[in-house]
């Protein structure tokens, strides 16, 4: 998981928090006004990775003005899972 990435002229920072579950009762969140993804620390890596891609999809949908998709957690989750699977499959291949 990178410390940051760029999307449509915006740099999105990724940080881990110990208290995210206490603060928002979530495993991750994208804060658009700060271009920030917060992830709960201490989770299994596979769960953290899935959460990361879910939040990346929120960042993309936000910056592309895709409100209908951004407001649909199920669609966002499926898109994140799809991207993660493609990248996992691609790993180690030319």
Give the pTM.
0.90
- For the chain, what is the largest distance between any 2 Cα atoms, rounded to a whole number of angstroms? 43
Q: pLDDT digit string (tens) for 18-72?
A: 998 887 778 999 999 999 999 999 999 988 999 999 999 999 999 999 999 999 9
Whether residue 91 has pLDDT greater than 70: no
In this prediction, residue 23 carries a pLDDT of: 76
Q: pLDDT digit string (tens) for 73-89?
A: 999 999 999 998 888 88
CA-to-CA distance for 57 and 82, rounded, in angstroms?
Answer: 11
Choose among 62, 45, 54: nearest CA to 79.
54
In this prediction, residue 87 carries a pLDDT of: 85
In this prediction, residue 26 carries a pLDDT of: 87
Choose among 76, 51, 49: nearest CA to 64.
76
């Amino acid at each position: 998981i990178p410390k940051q990435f760029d999307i449509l002229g915006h740099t999105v920072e990724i940080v881990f928090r110990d208290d995210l579950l206490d603060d928002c009762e979530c495993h991750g969140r994208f804060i658009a006004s700060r271009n920030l993804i917060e992830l709960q620390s201490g989770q299994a890596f596979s769960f953290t990775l899935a959460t990361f891609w879910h939040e990346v999809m929120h960042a993309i949908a936000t910056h592309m003005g895709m409100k209908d998709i951004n407001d649909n957690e199920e669609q966002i989750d499926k898109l994140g899972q799809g991207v993660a699977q493609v990248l996992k499959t691609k790993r180690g291949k030319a």
